[in-house]
């Protein structure tokens, strides 16, 4: 049995929640390996909707171990709130079902505050963050001044770590004309939340290795999408972590050989939340129709997503940078009823044809998509659970996407319901 890493192959919001939940029935352990509570996953189980932002999708399934790896930045107050909300809805969450990496970095109130100050003042290069402190927390991690989960258990060390943190943050706050943060106050806040978080803290790399040695099936759950990767995405309009499949190893403490199958989640069209380039974006009735039919609003922010045609060039790059084995194509049913569909095949840049998306902000803003037109279909694909139930034109559309991105479709999702899925290949069986 192979372990499986699930990553978004576009700009996030591809439907990873449903897919991870569908796969978690076959898994023993589900691991989040990057991001924070800026990543929303919506699950629909037996008609009941769960909206998660930090906890792994496997948390709603009894008998599974859910893990927040060291690559995740954790807001302890947000984590406590999410645990309380799910518990109130009948989901049992205990130290036996959830483990939080003791070497994971914490998001503190100073992080969200500086995030808001930057995003509000730097209008000309606004990134479009969720203002939840994700980026500043990763900055402090790289700057070696961050507070980690394990520090909550040592009051004296916690105070030292916070002094180091505030030496940096208070200088920034002075630059914005804001009052400095009192170190004693922040220490007190951390000590108050510590008893809610520390029972879940543990040595994640060892727990995962023990699971691997015991033959357990491990599912690695990514957040956001490859096009938001801090290195390989549309920089600077990206998230603050690596979202490619390789991060599943670094963000969990497992070696890369432990990750067998890389599953890329891809919408049958394209969406994006926030600022940044989007070559195939539609500012017309087709874009509006995709947004309305696909219910394209962010799980975390509620922001309306920008919508456009499928961009095969961008997805092909995601396949390469993440070493994707197979994809899940989601929301095919949203395309029902279109007389014709378009697929982005490449770009024109200053009179030159490109088969890749350029790196620089300038060229990215000037590219024009080259389209191939595909015949649409009038019959419904919603709820289909076999190829035989799909219109011939829908099958042709799926096959054409496979050809253009160079990776096979192994799962096809035809509605938000978990069981409305067509499986061509079981990732765990590889």
**Chain centroid to CA 165: how far?**
27
Identify whether 41 is a catalytic site residue: yes
Q: How distant, in Å, are the alpha carbons of 16, 175, 325 from that of 261?
A: 15, 47, 6
The CA distance from 198 to 40, in Å, is 24
Strand 409-413 relative to strand 421-423, pairing: antiparallel
Annotated catalytic residue: which of 21, 28, 37, 41?
41
Buried b / exposed e along 4-39 (16+ C-beta atoms within 10 A): bbbbbbbbbbbbbbbbbbbbbeebbbbbbbbbbbbb
Q: How distant, in Å, are the alpha carbons of 214, 242, 299 from that of 318?
A: 32, 13, 23
| Helix (H/G/I), strand (E/B), else coil: 259 | coil
Identify whether 13 is a catalytic site residue: yes
Residue 14 DSSP label = S
CB-CB contact of 6 with 319 (8 Å): no
Could you tell me which residues come within 8 angstroms of residue 390 by beta carbon, excluding any fewer than 6 positions away? 381, 384, 398, 422
First to last CA, the chain: 6
Residue 281 DSSP label = B
Strand 201-202 relative to strand 261-267, pairing: unpaired
The CA distance from 260 to 256, in Å, is 8
Q: How distant, in Å, are the alpha carbons of 294, 337, 416 from that of 357?
A: 26, 30, 31
Could you tell me which residues come within 8 angstroms of residue 170 by beta carbon, excluding any fewer than 6 positions away? 180, 181
Q: What six digits make up the tokens of 42?
A: 């919506």
CA neighbours within 13 Å on the CB side: how many for 265?
28
The CA distance from 136 to 138, in Å, is 5
Annotated catalytic residue: which of 13, 151, 311, 420?
13
Catalytic residues: 13, 41
């Amino acid at each position: 049995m192979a372990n499986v890493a699930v990553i978004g192959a576009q700009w996030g919001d591809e439907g990873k929640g449903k897919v991870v939940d569908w796969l978690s029935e076959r898994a023993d352990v589900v691991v989040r390996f990057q991001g924070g509570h800026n990543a929303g996953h919506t699950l629909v189980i037996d008609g009941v909707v769960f909206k998660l932002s930090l906890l792994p999708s496997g948390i709603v399934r009894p008998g599974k171990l859910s893990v927040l790896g060291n690559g995740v930045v954790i807001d302890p107050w947000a984590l406590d709130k999410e645990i309380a909300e799910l518990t109130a809805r009948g989901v049992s969450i205990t130290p036996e079902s959830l483990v939080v990496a003791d070497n994971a970095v914490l998001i503190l109130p100073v992080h969200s505050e500086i995030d808001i100050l930057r995003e509000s003042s730097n209008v000309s290069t606004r990134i479009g963050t969720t203002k939840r402190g994700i980026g500043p927390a990763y900055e402090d991690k790289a700057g070696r001044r961050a507070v980690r989960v394990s520090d909550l258990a040592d009051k004296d060390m916690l105070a030292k770590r916070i002094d180091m943190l505030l030496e940096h943050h208070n200088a920034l706050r002075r630059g914005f004309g804001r009052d400095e943060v009192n170190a004693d106050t922040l220490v007190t806040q951390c000590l108050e939340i510590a008893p809610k978080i520390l029972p879940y803290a543990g040595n994640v790399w060892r727990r995962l290795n023990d699971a691997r040695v015991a033959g357990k099936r491990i599912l690695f759950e990514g957040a956001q999408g490859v096009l938001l990767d801090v290195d390989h995405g549309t920089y600077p309009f990206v998230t603050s972590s690596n979202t490619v499949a390789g991060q599943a190893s670094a963000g969990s403490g497992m070696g890369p050989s432990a990750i067998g199958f890389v599953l890329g989640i891809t919408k049958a069209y394209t969406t994006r939340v926030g600022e940044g380039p989007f070559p195939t974006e539609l500012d017309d009735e087709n874009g509006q129709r995709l947004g309305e039919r696909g219910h394209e609003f962010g799980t975390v922010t509620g922001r309306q997503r920008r919508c456009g045609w499928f961009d095969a060039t961008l997805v092909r790059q995601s396949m390469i940078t993440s070493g994707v084995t197979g994809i899940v194509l989601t929301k095919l049913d949203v395309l029902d009823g279109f007389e014709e569909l378009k697929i982005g095949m490449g770009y024109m840049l200053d009179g030159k044809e490109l088969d890749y998306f350029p790196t620089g902000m300038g060229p990215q803003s000037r590219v024009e998509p080259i389209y191939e037109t595909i015949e649409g279909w009038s019959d419904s694909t919603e709820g289909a659970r076999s190829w035989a139930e799909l219109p011939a034109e829908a099958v042709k559309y799926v096959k054409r996407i496979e050809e253009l991105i160079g990776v096979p479709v192994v799962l096809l999702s035809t509605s938000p319901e978990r069981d409305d899925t067509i499986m061509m290949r079981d990732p765990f069986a590889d």
